Copies of this chain bind each other. A is one copy, B any other.
Amino acid sequence: MGNIAACCRSFWCKPKNPDIRISLPAICFVWQIAMIILFGLFVRYDDESDAHWSEHKHKNNITSDIENDFYYRYPSFQDVHVMIFVGFGFLMTFLKRYSFGGVGFNFLIAAFGLQWALLMQGWFHSLDPNDGLIKIGIENIINADFCVAGCLIAYGALLGKVSPVQLMVLTLFGITLFAVEEYIILNVLHVRDAGGSMVIHTFGAYYGLTISWILYRPKLDHSKNLSGSVYHSDVFAMIGTLFLWMYWPSFNSAIADHGDGQHRAAINTYLALAASVLTTFAISSLSAKKGKLDMVHIQNATLAGGVAMGTAAEFMISPYGSLIVGFVCGIISTFGYLVITPFMEKYLKIQDTCGIHNLHAMPGVLGGVVGAITAATASESVYGHEGLVNTFDFEGNYAKRTPATQGGFQAAGLCVALAFGIVGGAIVGFILRLPCCWGDPSDENCFDDEVYWEVPEDEESIPPILEYSSHMVGKNTDMMSQSNYTVEQS
């Protein structure tokens, strides 16, 4: 059933054929080979991961191996890595019959994306001027994971409605756009965004939402019976939620400044997330008959505080400031699930499977605004002179920049992220609608793993019933002894 795509599509009337037997292997092979060639041409180890490290130590008077950046950042890197693959992956297993696709395609596009991100970000940030090569170390692989996060957020809006081939294309362009956007925001505008409220979340969310808008499926309710969760799939999704929630302090602190920067970013994120949980439970309960909680809210809106602290986490926003941010985000995000997502689907024609508008777009924008305000109000009395310079990197060309100016640039950075998300999403969405062998599912087959996966038969209920009904006759004796047999099978 799931394999037969028979209906005509309204747009350019091309019948859907979700056969990806040629296209997916082709794209995987060609792109992976391209990665190998490009890595061969461009990518080498940096000073801290190269075997010349011991010479580098002597030259730079580094007394101990523990000063290698690896030891500052590796624990955070591993936490971020878990967020990308288990966090995002399992968060997307909530659909009753799309858990394979949720966790599996997340795995595929993240594994591709991080390679492409190492190259794209490397060209912009880690190019050695002496030899024109990209030198990678621990910070590069953290940033590659961050870059991938943007595309995984976008996948959240499209979950269940696109093919893995489309996802690979979305990732290729998404990473490219991300790297350019990031370069403009962080380097050209000299904006601080350690946890990526703007660079990652705002960009990723609007990128995904715009694509979803262009790929709008008017008849998506044909697969309505598969668009919800079942009991166990909701528990699986909680694995994703919790690993995202627990490791978010590492996400926001992973590439913050050594010492107090990382320390403060972790604490602020920890607090904002805690506050989000309480307001999420509150709004979720308040909105339902008898105060019954909705797993969708708990799985998602509890994370909004982490998103919104992405920019300001390393600033002196102070502990209560973090709590306020988390407090507000939990409310906004849960409210989004209750009101805005249905509104967007009905009136704006944006189908947002995971509700990324509520979890990433709104909190991301809010995070950018909070970051701008916190930066604009920074002062030497709070940070100390040296602290202010370190935190905002007011050095070199930027030695004269004031906090107020920095606040303005932060706001400009947010606009850049928005613009890249929307314009980029429009272009990529248009590409993904071209009549081509994308292999995307028909409206009837959305949210169904059967389309792209060999799904094991759950023998628990189906075979006995089918067999049974085919033998139905007259008196019940035969039927039941057979039923007896078949039920034992299950």
Interface string of A59-74 (1 = CB under 8 A from B): 0000011111111101
Q: Tell me the minimal C-beta distance from A457 to chain B in angstroms.
A: 8
| B43 & A320 in contact (Cβ 8 Å cutoff) | yes
Interface status of A89 (Cβ within 8 A of chain B): yes
With beta carbons under 8 angstroms apart, the residue of B28, B85, B278, B302 that contacts A281 is B28
Interface status of A126 (Cβ within 8 A of chain B): no
With beta carbons under 8 angstroms apart, the residue of B50, B69, B250, B279 that contacts A264 is B50
| B464 & A104 in contact (Cβ 8 Å cutoff) | no
| A464 & B452 in contact (Cβ 8 Å cutoff) | no
CA distance A71 to B455 in the complex (A): 45
With beta carbons under 8 angstroms apart, the residue of B97, B138, B318 that contacts A263 is B138
With beta carbons under 8 angstroms apart, the residue of B23, B235, B384, B464 that contacts A466 is B464
* Chain A 283-331 interface residues, beta-carbon cutoff 8 Å to B: 283, 285-286, 288-295, 298, 302, 316, 318-320, 323-324, 327
Q: Tell me the minimal C-beta distance from A410 to chain B in angstroms.
A: 17
* Chain A 186-225 interface residues, beta-carbon cutoff 8 Å to B: 225
With beta carbons under 8 angstroms apart, the residue of B49, B90, B246, B262 that contacts A260 is B49
Q: Size of chain A's interface in residues, with CB distance under 8 A?
A: 170
With beta carbons under 8 angstroms apart, the residue of B22, B86, B387 that contacts A54 is B387
Q: Which of A64, A99, A260, A262 has the most CB of B within 10 A?
A: A260
Given contacts A108-B278, A456-B229, A479-B476, contact A136 B89 (CB under 8 A): no
Interface status of A383 (Cβ within 8 A of chain B): yes
With beta carbons under 8 angstroms apart, the residue of B33, B292, B472, B486 that contacts A484 is B486
CA distance A264 to B138 in the complex (A): 9
CA distance A45 to B259 in the complex (A): 13
Given contacts A36-B324, A292-B453, contact A274 B114 (CB under 8 A): yes
Interface status of A338 (Cβ within 8 A of chain B): no
Interface status of A21 (Cβ within 8 A of chain B): yes
Interface status of A31 (Cβ within 8 A of chain B): yes
CB-CB under 8 A from A258, the residues of chain B are 65-66, 68
Q: Tell me the minimal C-beta distance from A318 to chain B in angstroms.
A: 7
With A111-B275, A138-B267 already in contact, 19 other A-B pairs whose C-beta atoms are closer than 8 Å: A22-B291, A24-B281, A24-B291, A25-B285, A28-B278, A28-B285, A32-B282, A39-B320, A55-B384, A64-B67, A71-B71, A85-B245, A99-B231, A104-B298, A141-B266, A293-B454, A464-B490, A467-B469, A486-B488
CA distance A282 to B247 in the complex (A): 31
Q: Please list 24 pairs of residues, one from A and one from B, whose beta carbons are closer than 8 Å in the complex, sorted by A's number.
A: A28-B281, A32-B279, A49-B260, A51-B390, A52-B383, A52-B384, A53-B260, A54-B259, A54-B384, A70-B263, A78-B246, A78-B250, A85-B245, A96-B459, A100-B235, A115-B274, A230-B457, A292-B453, A295-B456, A461-B490, A463-B490, A475-B476, A487-B489, A488-B489
CB-CB under 8 A from A99, the residues of chain B are 231, 235
Interface status of A130 (Cβ within 8 A of chain B): no
| B323 & A36 in contact (Cβ 8 Å cutoff) | yes
With beta carbons under 8 angstroms apart, the residue of B39, B54, B71, B239 that contacts A386 is B54
Interface status of A335 (Cβ within 8 A of chain B): no
| B484 & A482 in contact (Cβ 8 Å cutoff) | yes
